[in-house]
Structure 1
Amino acid sequence: MESPQERRERRRAEKRQAIRVAAVRIALDQGLEAATVEAISAAADISPRTFFNYFASKEEALAPGPMWTPEEFIGLLQERPADEPAFESLKVVARTLAARLRPIMADMKPFAELRRRHPELAAKARAVDETKLMESLFGAVSGRPGVTSAVHARLLVIVAFGAAISAVQESLAGGGAVEDLLEEAFTLLENGL
């Protein structure tokens, strides 16, 4: 059962997504110039002031939301038993992330079309240094049991995300259950592909 805080966070995430969808719909249907804060706010049935509680700019609203944050990833990893091997911990974390990714990736087509039409949005929307984000994840994994080096930690993080994304994409394309496809992906990795 959801706690009040989890419910608030879920509702806030749903509102952010509704605003994003309204922004992208306007930009695709009427052009990027028509996607003003006022137009987006009206389409999302919020005030411009409320818009700025969720986004700093229209460009930020036109970018797909992050699929996860480093804090979420590290938090999920820290919830695992301290003596659990890194690969096993990452399997569990990947299951959680894959369950979150599927609905987000199912809604990505309009964002992809917008990026295709306006590639300049990608540069404007990238406010976070992805290298620093990944470094924090590598650092969190490097202290787990079974991790033998920094390269090993990097590979484990990259394969876990690759497995999660592959399972979600295959689920969207073929309709299989994400959980089953993720289990298959990790079994292939364990068996050396």
Structure 2
Amino acid sequence: MGLRERKKEELRIALSWAAIRLTVERGFDNVKVEDIAAEAGVSPRTFNNYFSSKAEAIAARHRERAAQIARELRARPADEPLWEAIVQAVAARFALGMTEDEAPSDEGWNAGIRLMLQHPAIQGELLRASRAAQEELAATVAERTGTDLDRDLYPHLVAGSVAAALSAVSDLLLRTDSRPPVAELLRDAFRQLTAGLPTP
């Protein structure tokens, strides 16, 4: 990725995080595009070059992270077992845009995120982002395994399982006051998946 593309991606992430932070603090209906742009240090026009709405900006973090996971998976060694490659790709990109040290972990933040995720506009954008992310990951799995994206279930089942694991980890992080290490939770989620989800 060239310098220009990298800077554009960094700005997309910055705008998305600004939208999330302000929405958690003020509520979705109390945040304007102008507020998000100012928080990220750009003009509203620049915001509109990247996103068509506040909700799209909020959902963009999920979409960008999934795209990064797919790219990371493509870059893994071809002889690496599929699920190990997936675990490594997810672990490398799950915290895209914010490290664990930078991410707020207090009860107020988690409550604000939960409230934000209940807004219909955000739910709609997240569904769209999730669908696109899952399709991109399925295509990557199909390339890696030599399966047919249009005819075979396998790449879609893998992509759906990865999406479910990421969702479960995210939900658990939002429900807990303490913040367990993300990498540890991810590895546990994929360990259980690859073991066939045996009864605890």
**TM-score normalised to structure 1 length:** 0.66
Answer whether contact 2:73 2:86 (CA < 8 A) is retained. Answer: yes
1:81 CA drift (Å): 1.2
**C-alpha offsets along residues 17-74 of structure 1, whole Å, 9 cap, x if unaligned?**
2244335644x2xx83x5444455566665433432443234534x443324454233
Structure 1 residue 147 displacement after superposition: 6.5
Q: Higher mean Cα deviation, 155-164 or 77-86?
A: 155-164
Structure 2 equivalent of residue 51 of structure 1 = 47
- How many residue pairs get aligned? The number is 184
Kept in 2, the 8 Å contact 1:138–1:154? The answer is yes
Q: Which amino acid aligns with 1:55?
A: F
Equivalent residue in structure 1 for 2:60, among 46, 61, 65: 65
Further displaced range: 88-97 or 63-72: 63-72
Instruction: Measure how far apart 1:76 and its partner are.
Output: 0.9
Contact 2:74/2:144 (<8 A) preserved: no
Shift of 1:136: 3.4
Counterpart secondary structure, 2:136: helix
Q: Distance in 2 between matches of 1:6 and 1:131?
A: 24
Please tell me whether the aligned partners of residues 63 and 133 of structure 2 are also in contact (alpha carbons under 8 angstroms): no
> What does residue 162 of structure 1 align with?
164
Higher gyration radius (CA): 1
Given the alignment of the two structures, is residue 176 of structure 1 paired with residue 150 of structure 2, yes or no? no
Structure 2 gap ranges (5+): none
Question: Following TM superposition, where does structure 1 have runs of at least 4 consecutive aligned residues deviating by more than 6 angstroms?
Answer: 146-149
Q: 1:108 to 1:147 in 2, by over 3 A?
A: farther
Give the equivalent residue in structure 2 for 1:185.
189
Partner of 1:139: 139
Q: Which amino acid aligns with 2:186?
A: L
Against the structure 1 CA distance between its residues 14 and 111, is the aligned structure 2 distance closer, same or farther, given a 3 Å change threshold?
Answer: same
- Could you state the TM-score of these two structures normalised by the residue count of structure 2? 0.64
**Does structure 1 retain, via aligned residues, the 8 Å contact 2:165–2:189?**
yes
Instruction: Answer whether contact 1:142 1:153 (CA < 8 A) is retained.
Output: yes
- 1:41/1:186 CA distance change after superposition, 3 Å: closer
Q: Kindly report the root-mean-square deviation, in angstroms, between the aligned alpha carbons of the 2 structures.
A: 4.0
2: CA distance between counterparts of 1:165 and 1:126?
A: 12
In the alignment, which residue of structure 2 is the partner of 1:119?
120
CA distance in 1, matches of 2:104, 2:35: 25
Q: Give the whole-Å Cα distance in 2 for the aligned partners of 1:129 and 1:190.
A: 25
Counterpart position of 2:13: 13
Shift of 1:179: 1.8
| Contact in 1 for aligned 2:62/2:129 (Cα 8 Å) | no
Structure 1 residues 67 and 162 mapped into 2: Cα distance closer, same or farther (>3 Å)?
Answer: same
Q: Identity percentage over the alignment?
A: 27
> Cα deviation per residue 1:64-101 (whole Å; 9 max; x = unaligned)?
43324454233111101122222221111221233338
**Paired residue type of 1:178:** V
Following the alignment from structure 1 to structure 2, what is the Cα–Cα distance between the partners of residues 20 and 82? 37
